Amino acid sequence: MANLLEVQQATKQFGSFTALKDVSIQVPKGSIFGLLGPNGAGKTTLIRIINQITLPDQGSVYLDNELLHPQHIKDIGYLPEERGLYKSMKVGEQALYLAQLKGLSKSEAKERLKYWFDKFDITDWWNKKIQELSKGMAQKVQFIVTVLHKPKLLIFDEPFSGFDPINANVIKDEILQLRDEGATVIFSTHRMESVEELCDHMALINKSKKILDGKVTDIKKAFKTNTFEVGVLTENNNDLYKNLQDNFDITPANFKTIDDQLKVKITLNDDTSSNELLQYLSNKGQIMRFNEVIPTVNEIFIKTITDNE
Protein backbone atom coordinates (compact mmCIF):
# COMPACT_ATOMS: atom_id res chain seq x y z
CA MET A 1 0.00 0.00 0.00
CA ALA A 2 1.33 3.44 -0.89
CA ASN A 3 2.23 5.79 1.92
CA LEU A 4 0.51 9.15 2.18
CA LEU A 5 3.07 10.46 4.64
CA GLU A 6 6.68 9.60 5.29
CA VAL A 7 8.87 11.12 7.95
CA GLN A 8 12.53 10.31 7.53
CA GLN A 9 14.82 10.51 10.53
CA ALA A 10 13.43 13.62 12.11
CA THR A 11 15.46 15.10 14.93
CA LYS A 12 14.57 18.16 17.00
CA GLN A 13 16.54 19.81 19.79
CA PHE A 14 15.34 22.54 22.11
CA GLY A 15 18.62 23.99 23.32
CA SER A 16 20.61 21.04 24.58
CA PHE A 17 17.47 18.94 25.10
CA THR A 18 16.59 16.38 22.44
CA ALA A 19 12.81 16.21 22.01
CA LEU A 20 12.89 13.95 18.95
CA LYS A 21 15.72 11.70 17.81
CA ASP A 22 15.93 10.10 14.35
CA VAL A 23 12.24 9.26 14.19
CA SER A 24 10.92 7.80 10.93
CA ILE A 25 7.33 6.82 10.25
CA GLN A 26 5.42 5.62 7.21
CA VAL A 27 1.70 6.22 7.16
CA PRO A 28 -0.16 4.12 4.56
CA LYS A 29 -2.96 5.80 2.61
CA GLY A 30 -6.38 5.16 4.09
CA SER A 31 -5.12 3.92 7.45
CA ILE A 32 -5.36 5.06 11.04
CA PHE A 33 -1.91 5.54 12.49
CA GLY A 34 -1.51 5.79 16.26
CA LEU A 35 1.40 7.70 17.70
CA LEU A 36 1.56 6.29 21.20
CA GLY A 37 3.79 7.06 24.14
CA PRO A 38 3.88 8.65 27.57
CA ASN A 39 3.77 12.37 28.25
CA GLY A 40 6.90 14.13 27.06
CA ALA A 41 7.84 11.37 24.60
CA GLY A 42 7.96 13.74 21.61
CA LYS A 43 4.59 13.05 19.93
CA THR A 44 3.47 16.67 19.72
CA THR A 45 6.91 17.73 18.49
CA LEU A 46 6.62 15.24 15.62
CA ILE A 47 3.07 16.38 14.85
CA ARG A 48 4.17 20.02 14.82
CA ILE A 49 6.95 19.14 12.39
CA ILE A 50 4.44 17.46 10.05
CA ASN A 51 2.25 20.57 10.27
CA GLN A 52 5.21 22.86 9.47
CA ILE A 53 4.86 24.70 12.76
CA THR A 54 8.24 23.46 13.94
CA LEU A 55 11.20 22.95 11.61
CA PRO A 56 13.20 19.79 12.30
CA ASP A 57 16.95 20.15 12.83
CA GLN A 58 17.43 17.10 10.67
CA GLY A 59 15.23 14.86 8.62
CA SER A 60 12.57 15.31 5.98
CA VAL A 61 8.86 14.84 5.53
CA TYR A 62 7.09 13.73 2.35
CA LEU A 63 3.39 14.06 1.68
CA ASP A 64 2.21 12.01 -1.29
CA ASN A 65 5.86 11.59 -2.35
CA GLU A 66 6.46 15.36 -2.40
CA LEU A 67 8.81 17.07 -0.01
CA LEU A 68 6.63 19.00 2.40
CA HIS A 69 5.95 22.58 1.26
CA PRO A 70 3.66 25.39 2.49
CA GLN A 71 0.81 24.53 0.06
CA HIS A 72 0.44 21.16 1.77
CA ILE A 73 -1.16 22.85 4.77
CA LYS A 74 -4.53 22.82 2.95
CA ASP A 75 -4.26 19.02 2.57
CA ILE A 76 -4.03 18.53 6.32
CA GLY A 77 -6.72 18.92 8.96
CA TYR A 78 -5.03 19.46 12.31
CA LEU A 79 -6.55 19.36 15.78
CA PRO A 80 -3.86 20.74 18.08
CA GLU A 81 -3.33 19.59 21.63
CA GLU A 82 -3.79 23.12 22.93
CA ARG A 83 -7.28 23.86 21.74
CA GLY A 84 -7.92 27.48 20.98
CA LEU A 85 -11.14 29.08 19.87
CA TYR A 86 -12.04 32.74 20.22
CA LYS A 87 -13.91 32.76 23.50
CA SER A 88 -16.23 35.68 22.85
CA MET A 89 -17.27 34.67 19.33
CA LYS A 90 -20.43 32.68 18.73
CA VAL A 91 -20.04 29.02 17.87
CA GLY A 92 -21.67 29.12 14.44
CA GLU A 93 -20.04 32.41 13.44
CA GLN A 94 -16.62 31.06 14.39
CA ALA A 95 -17.11 27.70 12.70
CA LEU A 96 -18.15 29.49 9.49
CA TYR A 97 -15.15 31.79 9.69
CA LEU A 98 -12.68 28.94 10.21
CA ALA A 99 -14.26 26.86 7.45
CA GLN A 100 -13.86 29.72 5.00
CA LEU A 101 -10.20 30.08 5.99
CA LYS A 102 -9.81 26.49 4.88
CA GLY A 103 -11.10 27.41 1.44
CA LEU A 104 -14.80 26.54 1.63
CA SER A 105 -17.38 28.96 0.25
CA LYS A 106 -19.83 30.34 2.78
CA SER A 107 -22.75 28.30 1.45
CA GLU A 108 -20.72 25.11 1.31
CA ALA A 109 -19.44 25.72 4.82
CA LYS A 110 -23.01 26.28 6.07
CA GLU A 111 -24.24 23.10 4.46
CA ARG A 112 -21.44 20.95 5.86
CA LEU A 113 -21.68 22.52 9.30
CA LYS A 114 -25.38 21.82 9.37
CA TYR A 115 -24.66 18.17 8.59
CA TRP A 116 -22.12 17.89 11.43
CA PHE A 117 -24.12 19.89 13.97
CA ASP A 118 -27.10 17.64 13.26
CA LYS A 119 -24.92 14.56 13.49
CA PHE A 120 -23.55 15.57 16.89
CA ASP A 121 -26.97 16.81 17.95
CA ILE A 122 -25.62 20.27 18.83
CA THR A 123 -27.63 22.58 16.55
CA ASP A 124 -28.80 24.55 19.59
CA TRP A 125 -25.19 25.54 20.31
CA TRP A 126 -25.00 27.61 17.11
CA ASN A 127 -25.71 30.93 18.81
CA LYS A 128 -23.92 30.24 22.07
CA LYS A 129 -20.59 31.89 22.80
CA ILE A 130 -17.58 29.59 23.01
CA GLN A 131 -17.04 30.67 26.62
CA GLU A 132 -20.44 29.20 27.49
CA LEU A 133 -19.32 25.75 26.35
CA SER A 134 -17.61 23.16 28.53
CA LYS A 135 -14.18 21.96 27.49
CA GLY A 136 -15.61 18.82 25.92
CA MET A 137 -18.25 20.81 24.03
CA ALA A 138 -15.67 23.24 22.62
CA GLN A 139 -13.57 20.27 21.63
CA LYS A 140 -16.45 18.81 19.62
CA VAL A 141 -16.78 22.08 17.72
CA GLN A 142 -13.07 22.07 17.05
CA PHE A 143 -13.19 18.48 15.84
CA ILE A 144 -15.88 19.45 13.33
CA VAL A 145 -13.86 22.41 12.07
CA THR A 146 -10.81 20.15 11.66
CA VAL A 147 -12.54 17.63 9.41
CA LEU A 148 -14.96 19.94 7.60
CA HIS A 149 -12.90 20.68 4.47
CA LYS A 150 -12.29 16.92 3.93
CA PRO A 151 -8.49 17.04 3.83
CA LYS A 152 -6.68 13.89 2.78
CA LEU A 153 -4.66 13.78 5.99
CA LEU A 154 -6.19 14.30 9.42
CA ILE A 155 -3.98 14.78 12.45
CA PHE A 156 -5.49 14.74 15.92
CA ASP A 157 -3.19 15.46 18.84
CA GLU A 158 -4.62 13.79 21.97
CA PRO A 159 -8.17 13.89 20.57
CA PHE A 160 -9.70 12.04 23.51
CA SER A 161 -8.35 14.06 26.40
CA GLY A 162 -11.06 16.28 27.81
CA PHE A 163 -13.85 13.95 26.73
CA ASP A 164 -15.94 11.70 28.94
CA PRO A 165 -16.03 8.02 27.85
CA ILE A 166 -19.29 8.42 25.92
CA ASN A 167 -18.06 11.36 23.87
CA ALA A 168 -14.64 9.75 23.43
CA ASN A 169 -16.51 6.85 21.80
CA VAL A 170 -18.44 9.24 19.56
CA ILE A 171 -15.12 10.65 18.36
CA LYS A 172 -13.63 7.17 17.92
CA ASP A 173 -16.57 6.16 15.74
CA GLU A 174 -16.22 9.33 13.67
CA ILE A 175 -12.51 8.70 13.16
CA LEU A 176 -13.28 5.17 11.93
CA GLN A 177 -15.92 6.51 9.58
CA LEU A 178 -13.59 9.18 8.19
CA ARG A 179 -11.03 6.45 7.52
CA ASP A 180 -13.67 4.33 5.80
CA GLU A 181 -14.54 7.31 3.61
CA GLY A 182 -10.92 7.50 2.45
CA ALA A 183 -9.14 9.83 4.85
CA THR A 184 -5.76 8.97 6.33
CA VAL A 185 -5.59 9.63 10.04
CA ILE A 186 -2.74 10.16 12.48
CA PHE A 187 -3.57 10.59 16.13
CA SER A 188 -1.50 10.75 19.26
CA THR A 189 -2.30 9.56 22.74
CA HIS A 190 -0.57 8.96 26.03
CA ARG A 191 -3.44 6.66 27.09
CA MET A 192 -2.26 3.65 25.17
CA GLU A 193 -4.67 1.11 26.53
CA SER A 194 -7.85 2.91 25.62
CA VAL A 195 -7.44 3.32 21.88
CA GLU A 196 -5.48 0.40 20.56
CA GLU A 197 -8.50 -1.04 18.77
CA LEU A 198 -8.65 2.10 16.68
CA CYS A 199 -5.24 1.91 14.99
CA ASP A 200 -4.27 -0.08 11.93
CA HIS A 201 -0.64 0.94 12.39
CA MET A 202 1.19 2.37 15.32
CA ALA A 203 4.50 3.75 16.44
CA LEU A 204 5.55 3.64 20.06
CA ILE A 205 7.59 6.67 21.08
CA ASN A 206 9.54 6.90 24.31
CA LYS A 207 11.98 9.60 25.42
CA SER A 208 12.33 11.10 21.93
CA LYS A 209 12.89 7.78 20.16
CA LYS A 210 10.70 5.39 18.26
CA ILE A 211 11.00 2.05 20.02
CA LEU A 212 8.60 -0.01 17.93
CA ASP A 213 6.31 0.36 14.94
CA GLY A 214 4.29 -1.64 12.46
CA LYS A 215 0.87 -3.06 11.78
CA VAL A 216 -0.93 -3.49 15.07
CA THR A 217 -1.95 -7.07 14.27
CA ASP A 218 1.66 -7.99 13.36
CA ILE A 219 2.99 -6.42 16.55
CA LYS A 220 0.45 -8.27 18.65
CA LYS A 221 1.26 -11.56 16.91
CA ALA A 222 4.95 -11.01 17.56
CA PHE A 223 4.33 -10.40 21.26
CA LYS A 224 1.76 -13.06 22.03
CA THR A 225 2.96 -15.97 24.10
CA ASN A 226 0.50 -18.77 23.29
CA THR A 227 -1.24 -18.20 26.60
CA PHE A 228 -4.88 -19.02 27.31
CA GLU A 229 -7.06 -17.76 30.10
CA VAL A 230 -9.21 -20.56 31.34
CA GLY A 231 -12.10 -20.99 33.76
CA VAL A 232 -13.19 -24.52 34.73
CA LEU A 233 -15.90 -25.69 37.10
CA THR A 234 -14.74 -28.81 38.92
CA GLU A 235 -15.59 -30.93 41.96
CA ASN A 236 -12.20 -30.10 43.41
CA ASN A 237 -10.32 -27.04 42.19
CA ASN A 238 -7.14 -27.88 44.11
CA ASP A 239 -6.79 -31.26 42.46
CA LEU A 240 -7.05 -29.78 38.98
CA TYR A 241 -4.70 -26.95 39.89
CA LYS A 242 -2.03 -29.45 40.97
CA ASN A 243 -2.65 -31.56 37.93
CA LEU A 244 -2.25 -28.55 35.63
CA GLN A 245 0.86 -27.46 37.49
CA ASP A 246 2.47 -30.84 36.77
CA ASN A 247 1.67 -30.69 33.08
CA PHE A 248 1.69 -27.04 32.00
CA ASP A 249 3.22 -23.66 32.62
CA ILE A 250 0.46 -21.95 34.61
CA THR A 251 -0.17 -18.79 36.61
CA PRO A 252 -3.31 -17.77 38.50
CA ALA A 253 -5.81 -15.63 36.60
CA ASN A 254 -8.25 -13.21 38.13
CA PHE A 255 -11.44 -12.48 36.34
CA LYS A 256 -14.83 -12.10 37.93
CA THR A 257 -17.22 -15.04 37.99
CA ILE A 258 -20.39 -15.70 39.90
CA ASP A 259 -19.39 -19.26 40.75
CA ASP A 260 -16.27 -20.92 42.10
CA GLN A 261 -14.30 -21.72 38.97
CA LEU A 262 -10.67 -22.60 38.82
CA LYS A 263 -9.12 -19.61 37.03
CA VAL A 264 -5.72 -20.00 35.46
CA LYS A 265 -3.57 -18.76 32.64
CA ILE A 266 -1.91 -21.58 30.77
CA THR A 267 1.05 -21.00 28.48
CA LEU A 268 1.49 -23.73 25.90
CA ASN A 269 4.72 -24.79 24.29
CA ASP A 270 4.86 -24.91 20.49
CA ASP A 271 4.05 -28.65 20.39
CA THR A 272 0.66 -28.30 22.03
CA SER A 273 -2.34 -26.85 20.25
CA SER A 274 -5.22 -25.00 21.84
CA ASN A 275 -7.51 -27.86 20.79
CA GLU A 276 -5.40 -30.33 22.72
CA LEU A 277 -5.62 -28.15 25.80
CA LEU A 278 -9.35 -27.84 25.34
CA GLN A 279 -9.75 -31.61 25.11
CA TYR A 280 -7.58 -32.10 28.17
CA LEU A 281 -9.64 -29.65 30.19
CA SER A 282 -12.99 -30.94 29.01
CA ASN A 283 -12.19 -34.26 30.68
CA LYS A 284 -11.58 -32.50 33.98
CA GLY A 285 -14.65 -30.33 34.33
CA GLN A 286 -17.03 -27.86 32.76
CA ILE A 287 -15.16 -25.28 30.70
CA MET A 288 -16.68 -21.86 31.34
CA ARG A 289 -14.02 -19.70 29.75
CA PHE A 290 -11.33 -20.28 27.19
CA ASN A 291 -9.66 -17.38 25.47
CA GLU A 292 -6.32 -16.45 24.10
CA VAL A 293 -4.45 -13.78 26.00
CA ILE A 294 -3.50 -11.03 23.56
CA PRO A 295 -1.01 -8.54 24.94
CA THR A 296 -2.22 -4.97 25.26
CA VAL A 297 -0.27 -2.12 23.68
CA ASN A 298 0.59 -1.00 27.18
CA GLU A 299 2.10 -4.39 28.03
CA ILE A 300 4.00 -4.40 24.74
CA PHE A 301 5.28 -0.91 25.49
CA ILE A 302 6.50 -1.89 28.95
CA LYS A 303 8.11 -5.07 27.66
CA THR A 304 9.90 -3.22 24.86
CA ILE A 305 11.27 -0.62 27.25
CA THR A 306 12.48 -3.13 29.83
CA ASP A 307 14.04 -5.34 27.15
CA ASN A 308 15.95 -2.35 25.77
CA GLU A 309 17.30 -1.23 29.12
Point out which residues bind Mg ion (CB under 5 A).
43-44, 81
For 101, residues 6+ apart whose C-beta sits below 8 A from its C-beta are none
For 91, residues 6+ apart whose C-beta sits below 8 A from its C-beta are 125, 126, 127, 128, 129, 130, 133, 141
Which residue, 41 or 212, has its beta carbon nearer to ligand ADP?
41
User: What is d(CA 258, CA 209) in angstroms, rounded to the nearest whole number?
Assistant: 45
In the complex, the smallest distance separating the C-beta of residue 41 from Mg ion, rounded to whole angstroms, is 8
Residue nearest to Mg ion (CB): 44
Which residue, 76 or 277, has its beta carbon nearer to ligand ADP?
76
In the complex, the smallest distance separating the C-beta of residue 207 from ligand ADP, rounded to whole angstroms, is 9
Cβ proximity of 171 and 4 under 8 Å: no
Which of ligand ADP, Mg ion, none does 42 bind, CB closer than 5 to 8 A by kind? ligand ADP
Which residue, 53 or 101, has its beta carbon nearer to ligand ADP?
53
Q: According to the binding rule CB under 6 A, does residue 53 interact with ligand ADP?
A: no
In the complex, the smallest distance separating the C-beta of residue 41 from ligand ADP, rounded to whole angstroms, is 4
Beta strands (DSSP E) in the chain are 3-14, 17-28, 32-36, 58-63, 66-67, 76-79, 153-157, 184-189, 201-206, 209-215, 227-233, 249-252, 262-267, 286-292
- Out of 41, 104, 253, 264, the only residue in the binding site for ligand ADP (CB under 6 A) is 41
What is the separation of C-alpha 145 from the centre of its chain, rounded to a whole number of angstroms? 21
In the complex, the smallest distance separating the C-beta of residue 14 from ligand ADP, rounded to whole angstroms, is 3
Sites of contact with ligand ADP (CB under 6 A) = 14, 17, 19, 37, 39-45
